[in-house]
């Protein structure tokens, strides 16, 4: 597990593709479980607090799709969790992703505006050009970056944080992400797609200082 940043309040990692963000009912491993194991070991070594050692607190502040990789932040205190979740709810957190797509967009840069629904299974997002009942507004900016060979690399700035938003919106314009077979992409690695949360900018929950956390791209991306 690659640690990007850590202090008394926060732990940020570069989540590998294939790990869920949070622990849940699914049997596959989660980044939260691995981060908690690391945090517990550090407390046993370095902390003098019996309470912390017995009941360590660590919660994912936000989520990344299991198949994607990149910056994932955990809170070590309830106050830090509340403060950071509020920033996400108020859309004051800047999120920057990179993705390799199957097809070059019609325009080198663009602003995508759609409406999103989940399908009957709840496991896939459906995109509409107009508002439908129970649909959610989703906004995504993209820029085509210089890249080598036939690789088509996009920088992505989601303005909303909907379920599978980036994956579904790119597929809707005919540019599915490599590896994202659920949305029409070609297979890459098992349970992984070429979508990476490269950068996260927010205010520290205690000091208010602006923080920028970055995660290097996975090998072979």
Question: What contacts 212, CB < 8 A, 6 or more positions away?
Answer: 199, 200, 201
**Closest CA relative to residue 217, chosen from 201, 200, 196:** 196
Name beta bridge partners: 71: 14
To the nearest whole number, what is the mean pLDDT of the chain? 93
CA distances from 70 to 79, 121, 203, 207, 214 (A): 24, 27, 19, 24, 8
Quick check: 24 pLDDT over 70? no
* Structural tokens at position 220: 């072979």
Handedness of CA 189, 193, 196, 197 (dihedral sign): negative
> pTM value?
0.92
Q: Which residue has the higher pLDDT, 27 or 116?
A: 116
Beta strand 195-203 pairing with 69-75: parallel
3-state secondary structure 131-155: CCCCCEEEEEEEEEECCCCCCEEEE
* 5 vs 132: CA distance, rounded Å: 41
At 65 the three-state DSSP class reads: coil
pLDDT in tens, 90-147: 999 999 999 999 999 999 999 999 999 999 999 999 999 999 999 999 999 999 999 8
Q: Give me the pLDDT at residue 68, please.
A: 97
> Under a CB-based contact definition with an 8 Å cutoff, are residues 53 and 47 in contact?
yes
What are the chain's domains? 2-214 (3.30.2350.10)
pLDDT in tens, 134-154: 999 999 999 999 988 899 999
Give the model's confidence band at 43: pLDDT under 50 very low, under 70 low, under 90 confident, else very high. confident
What torsion, rounded to 10 degrees, do the Cα atoms 136, 175, 189, 213 define? -60
**Closest CA relative to residue 28, chosen from 215, 192, 157:** 192
pLDDT in tens, 54-73: 668 999 999 999 999 999 99
Quick one: what percent of the chain has pLDDT higher than 70? Answer: 93
């Amino acid at each position: 597990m690659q640690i990007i940043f850590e202090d008394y309040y926060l732990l940020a990692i570069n989540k590998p593709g294939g790990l869920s963000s949070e622990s849940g009912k699914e049997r596959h491993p989660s980044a939260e479980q691995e981060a908690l194991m690391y945090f517990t070991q550090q407390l046993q070594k370095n902390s003098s607090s019996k309470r912390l050692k017995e009941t360590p607190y660590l919660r994912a502040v936000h989520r990344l799709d299991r198949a994607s990789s990149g910056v994932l932040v955990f809170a070590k205190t309830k106050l830090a969790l509340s403060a950071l979740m509020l920033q996400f709810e108020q859309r004051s957190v800047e999120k920057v992703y990179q993705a390799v797509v199957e097809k070059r967009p019609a325009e080198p840069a663009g602003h995508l505006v759609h409406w999103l629904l989940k399908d009957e299974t709840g496991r896939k997002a459906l995109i509409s050009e107009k508002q439908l009942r129970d649909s959610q507004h989703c906004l995504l900016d993209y820029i085509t970056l210089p890249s080598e060979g036939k690789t088509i690399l996009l920088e992505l700035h989601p303005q909303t944080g909907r379920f599978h938003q980036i994956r579904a919106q790119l597929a809707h314009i005919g540019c599915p992400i490599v590896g994202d077979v659920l949305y029409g992409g070609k297979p890459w690695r098992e349970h992984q797609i070429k979508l990476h949360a490269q950068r996260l900018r927010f205010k520290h929950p205690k000091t208010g200082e602006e923080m920028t956390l970055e995660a290097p791209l996975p090998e072979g991306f």
